[in-house]
Amino acid sequence: MKGEKGAEPQQMVMQPQAYGQPQVMQPVAQMQMQPGMMVINTDPWAILSGMTGAEIKERVRMAEAILGWEQNNIYDIKDQNGNPAFIAKEDTDTCTRLIGMCCPVQDCRMFKLDISVPPMPGASPPPFLHLDRPWTCTCYCFNRPKVTVTDLTAGGEVIGTMRDPWHCCNYNMRMADPEGKDVLNVEASCCQCGFWCPLPCGPCKEVQFEITDVESKQKVGHFKRIVPCNLLKFLFTDVDNYQVEFGGITDPKWKSLLLAAAVFADFRYFSTNKNENSALGTIS
């Protein structure tokens, strides 16, 4: 699980120099990334290899906030230093979104989402990750939600899957390898104030998700959901932010699964427009 992806091109970074001195290109592996550096390599796996954490911010969709019209989610993903790394865009068709709005059981809702490197002037890199959560008839322990994550740079090769097993209390996700063997467990206690009374301050501002290795039972990382401090965003949107710490996970493919897990958690537990229902009615 912690092995490095081999034979990858090095990610080159433009190191700012003093005025009058030439700029020097250095590979990420030989230097620590600093805020303000310009990443000019668009190889997504090289970017993931150099990341120790990520910040995921959901964009505000004004039509959804004002009119209650459900729109596709878009997430900006930055590295641990705040540098833009990826963009995640939902690609669910309008008809499916409308059905999801009318369906009383949000557990059944499907979605598709692509993750790509941010576009550069004159270039728009294609997506490198695809998340597919098919429509299911879910009820309690029956037919639980499942997301398949595929590597589009390798012809759609399956990286792994995530499923949300049914629990009476805590919120839990299981991550499996391409063969279906459970490898990582993501769990959040239901006793956290952020689940039942989310507020942009105090202990109600955050929800912590712990990531453990299934075999060793050791904690290998975590991510948390953060309610935005902006009062208007809090009152009129379902926008949330997420911070991911990769911890002991070094394989870029497993890092990509943790990014997908944070997005999956947003869809599963926190993606409810305040103009439609209360959040408590969507968790089961």
Indicate whether 204 belongs to any domain: yes
Least confident of 6-10, 40-44, 84-88, 163-167: 6-10
Query: Is 283 within the bounds of a domain?
Result: no
**Is 6 among the domain residues?**
no
The residues, any chain, with a CB within 8 Å of residue 215's CB and separated by 6 or more, are 183
**Confidence band of 26 (pLDDT split at 50, 70, 90):** very low
Cα–Cα distance measured from residue 79 to residue 86, given in angstroms and rounded to the nearest whole number: 9
Enclosing domain of residue 19: 12-28+38-277
pLDDT at 64: 65
- Reported as a pLDDT band with limits 50, 70 and 90, residue 149 is very high
For the chain, what is the domain count?
1
Residue 20 has pLDDT above 90, yes or no: no
Q: What are the tens digits of pLDDT across the range 50-82?
A: 999 999 999 887 766 666 667 889 999 999 999
Asked whether residue 70 is domain-assigned, the answer is: yes
Q: Give backbone dihedrals phi and psi of 282, rounded to 5 degrees, phi first.
A: -105, -5
Kindly state whether residue 284 falls inside one of the protein's structural domains. Answer: no
Q: Sorting pLDDT into bands at 50, 70 and 90, what band is 6?
A: very low
Q: Is the pTM of this model over 0.85?
A: no
> 3-state DSSP call for residue 120?
strand
Residue 107: the pLDDT is 74
The whole-number pLDDT of residue 22 equals 41
35-39, 103-107, 117-121, 209-213: segment of lowest average pLDDT: 35-39
Map residue 234 onto helix, strand or coil.
helix
The structure tokens listed for 138 are: 């879910």
- 2 located within any domain: no
pLDDT for 231: 67
Question: 């004159």: which residue's tokens?
Answer: 122
**Is residue 279's pLDDT more than 50?**
no
For the cut 50, the answer to whether the pLDDT of residue 141 exceeds it is yes
pLDDT above 80: residue 278: no
Buried b (16+ CB within 10 A) or exposed e, 34-52: eeebebebbbbbbbbbbbb
Calculate the average pLDDT of the chain. Answer: 80
pLDDT for the residue numbered 65:
62
Residue 5 lies in a domain: no
Query: Has residue 4 been placed in a domain?
Result: no
- The CATH number of residue 245's host domain is 3.20.90
Asked whether 164 and 260 are in contact (CB, 8 A), the reply is: no
